[in-house]
Structure formats: structure tokens, C-alpha cells
Amino acid sequence: MTATLVYTHLSEIADDFAPDLAEAIRRLGPQDFRRRDDLPFPEYLCRAISGQQISVKAAQSIWTRVVASAEGKSLVDHFAACDSDGLRACGLSNAKVKTIQGIARTHLDEGLDVPTLKPLPAEERAARLTTLWGVGAWTADMMNMFYFGEEDIWPDGDVAARKTLEKLTSKRRKTSRTAERFRPYRSWLAIYMWAHVDAPPDVGEADIPS
């Protein structure tokens, strides 16, 4: 469905029970659902892990050093073979080094590429990703939404999306239940919640977590 049709669909659903939410959606207008699948999936997942819980500027700086440390070799091969000290020297924490090395080694042993993961239902794909040490439900949701393009994911572990939906609807109802009303476009609902948080008074653009 196009962004304009999704916008109309979400607005109409919100009209039935949450006028504040409907107004927020209408004020923002149609939003983009931007895919981020320009890297091989294992590399993208590693990059996402490396940038979590730090500023965008710091994340970019660290990833630049990580890529340089591979000296032109495949990043996955580099991560699997590199000693922990080498990756920590790039600015990665011990936990992130462990997670990134685990992702790389799992990919080489079992496969974490698009042909392996894309055919899976979103729930099964998320379950597989969260078996990786250091990869939680929030990260799996972000991968499902923005790498694999799943349109019906509600990332209840995302504080900004959850709190914004709660504020625009009701604090007495679980946001996961509220989001159910918006199937099969719950990912779009989350995009609107992020956009609302970052929007100026009249218009805004979704700020997709990386």
C-alpha cells in the first residue's frame, strides 16, 4: 500500500477511538517507510549493534575505524577472525565485540544472509535473531522493519514509540493492544509515533532508529 493510502487508513482507524492520535497523524501527513538494505545483512546487523546507545556522530566514527581495521577484507570474515583487542581498539565495548563476533561466526557457520532469513515469517526471523548473544527483541524488530521491510511490526520495546502512543491514546490500555487495531500496518504506526516525537509544530519526518 502507498504511503498516502496508509496515512488515510491509519487516520480513519484512529478517528474511531483516539481523536488526539488521529489529529497527530493528520498533522504529519504521509510518511516514508525507508528501507535500509544497502549492506549485506550480517554487516548491517553488526553496524546496528555497534551504534546502539551512543550518539550518531560517535557511532559513525567508531564504524569508520572498524571498517578501516579490516583493511579491505570482508567485514564478516574480519569480525570472525579478529581478536577482541583489535575491535575494542576501534571504540567498541566488550559486549558489542562479543555480539559482533558472534554474529559473524554464526553467519559463517549457519547463514544469516537474506536468502536464509527473508523467506521466514517475521516472528520466526525475530526468534532466530534473538538467539544471538546480545541481540534483543528491539534489535530484531528494527531489522524486521527496516531491513526486511515488514509493515506489521509493533516495537513495544521502543520507549519513544510506546510512550508516544500511550500519550495520544490512553495510559490505561497496553500499547500492544492499541496497536492491534492498526494491523496490518503497525510498523507504519510506529513511524508516525517517532515522527510525532521529533516533529516541529506543523510537520515532521520520521526519525528511524539505527
Name every residue whose Cβ is closer than 8 Å to that of residue 34 and which is 6 or more positions away in sequence: 146, 206, 208
pTM, full prediction: 0.89
Nearest to 155 by CA among 169, 175, 135, 171: 175
Per-residue pLDDT of the chain (210 residues; tens, 9 = 90+): 799 999 999 999 999 999 999 999 999 999 999 888 888 999 999 999 999 989 989 999 999 999 999 999 999 999 999 889 999 999 999 999 999 999 999 999 999 999 999 999 999 999 999 999 999 999 999 999 999 999 999 999 999 999 999 999 998 899 999 999 999 999 999 999 999 998 554 433 333 343
Rounded Cα gap, residues 186 and 36, in angstroms: 18
> Do 74 and 106 contact (CB within 8 A), yes or no?
no
For 67, how many CA atoms within 13 A lie in the half-sphere containing its CB? Answer: 10
Q: How many CA atoms lie within 13 A of 208 on its CB side?
A: 21
